[in-house]
Amino acid sequence: MAYDMATPFSETITLESGQRCFLAGDASGQAGWSIDDFLLIEIQGTAETKRFIIGTTASVYYKGNLVEQLGTTGSNFSPDDIDLTPHLPKGEPVKLTISALDFVGIGHVSDLYLIIR
C-alpha cells in the first residue's frame, strides 16, 4: 500500500503540435526536482489510460498489470529527465493526474511544476 504525500494534481490538458510537456522544480523549467518514493502519472484519453511511475520503488501493479517505469530509477531529476511529450496525444484533451506516493518512512517531494511550452 502506498500513501499520498500531497493532494494529487489533476487537470485536463491539450498538447498542441510543437509543444513540449515535462516536469521541473521551478516555474521557469530550469530547476531539478526530487521524490521519495515515487510519482504515479496517469494519462486518461478517450480510448485508454496510460500509467507510469517515476522515482525509486519496487514494482508497482495496477489491477494486476505492471506499471511502466518512466525515466531512470532514482530520487533526483533534472528538468530534462522526465519528458511526457511522447506519451501525450497532440490536439486531443487528456486528463493528467500526478500523485506523489510513499510506501514507508519519511516521504518527500520537492517543488514540482508541469511545464508546457
Q: Write out the residue range of the structural domain in which residue 47 sits.
A: 3-116
Q: How many domains, the chain?
A: 1
pLDDT of residue 59: 87
Residues (pLDDT < 50) of the chain are: none
Handedness of CA 18, 69, 98, 89 (dihedral sign): positive
pLDDT of residue 31: 98
State the SS3 of 47-114. Answer: CCEEEEEEECCCCCEECCEECEECCCCCCEECCCCCECHHHCCECCCEEEEEEEEECCCCCEECCCEE
pLDDT of residue 84: 98
pLDDT of residue 54: 96
pLDDT of residue 1: 58
